[in-house]
Amino acid sequence: MSTRIDVRKTYKLFIGGAFPRSESGYSYVVNDHKGAFVANAALASRKDARDAVGAARKAQSGWAGRTAYNRAQILYRVAEVMEDRRWQFVQAVQQSEGLSGSKAERVVDEAVDRWVWYAGWADKLAQVVGNANPVAGPFFNLSTPEPTGVVAVLAPERSSLLGLVSVLAPVIVSGNTAVLVSSYSRPLPAVNLAEVLATSDVPGGVVNILTGKAATVAPWLAAHMDVNAIDLTGVAGDAALATDLEVAAADNLKRVRRAPAAEPDWSAEPGLEPMTAFLETKTVWHPMGV
């Protein structure tokens, strides 16, 4: 039998439910933790970011308009498909993060579990963070959480799967759509996740994944007038860049989830904050007895 020729992969972006190449035509080499070649990934440019925001905006009202129960079902389906592709994620995590087989499996388990956990929140958020407010008059006064809109997410640089899930799932569970910039050095779990999302009933445009440098793409997202919020987790530790992005984001009063000083411990219980950071509270007054 002859020696089999390697199938060398050049991964693409995930925008609007499709897998386009970068508009720039550039790709970059992704190495494993030991420095050996693994694959090529598309190098996203500012125009890819622009297209991704356009796709996310187009998908936003439809996604937010689905019932919370339906969003929960779809997100649970994502977890199912992740579980089906378990071996692929384990391999990607091993290659990216240099973990041993059993540790990588544990990370994948945690990531799938976290996705399921967030899926469950879809139809429970309103009970927990919404309220029937007592008011001094014959009115029902109800506060309900509404999605902020299009959210740019800078995924953590080091935790390529668990960290990725921990910043992406809370954004979309409440009806936001996301433009996610993956880890530059460890993009493969994000690429795999894109393939999962494309085959698990998530409408095109709800999640858009750009592989590339946060330092080149993020300023365009932070300054983009049609992006409603930005999560700066991915630039943890780079205080100068984080400040620049916050300043750029101030122009249209984006909601900013600030960059922590160092990447957090992703295995810790996330709490509600990752979800509530991208919610707006709508309060309606309704006369009683009508």
Window 42-61: residues binding another protein (CB under 8 A): 50, 53, 57
Closest CB 251 distance from another protein, rounded Å = 7
Other beta carbons within 10 Å of 230: 26
Structure tokens at 100: 């041993």
In a 10 Å sphere around its CB, with 0-12 CB exposed, 13-18 middle and 19+ buried, how is residue 46 labelled? middle
- Report strand pairing: 207-210 vs 177-181: parallel
Q: Which of 14, 63, 89, 220 binds another protein (CB under 8 A)?
A: 220
Q: Which of 1, 7, 225, 288 binds another protein (CB under 8 A)?
A: 225
Interhelix angle 68-84/188-198, rounded to 10 degrees, is: 120
* Window contacting another protein (CB under 8 A); options: 11-19, 60-68, 185-193, 221-229: 221-229
Rule CB under 8 A: say whether 125 interacts with another protein: no
The residue among 152 and 197 lying less far from another protein, judged by its C-beta, is 152
Window 226-265: residues binding another protein (CB under 8 A): 226-227, 248, 251-252
The residue among 21 and 106 lying less far from another protein, judged by its C-beta, is 21
Other beta carbons within 10 Å of 175: 25
Torsion from C-alpha of 114, 120, 126, 128, nearest 10 degrees: -70
The residue among 223 and 279 lying less far from another protein, judged by its C-beta, is 223
Measured CA to CA, the distance from residue 142 to residue 135 in angstroms comes to 10
Nearest to 9 by CA among 36, 34, 41, 33: 41
Closest CB 212 distance from another protein, rounded Å = 17
Q: Which of 111, 162, 196, 223 binds another protein (CB under 8 A)?
A: 223
The residue among 21 and 85 lying less far from another protein, judged by its C-beta, is 21
Closest CB 152 distance from another protein, rounded Å = 12
Measured CA to CA, the distance from residue 222 to residue 100 in angstroms comes to 37
Binding site for another protein (CB under 8 A): 50, 53, 57, 220, 223-227, 248, 251-252
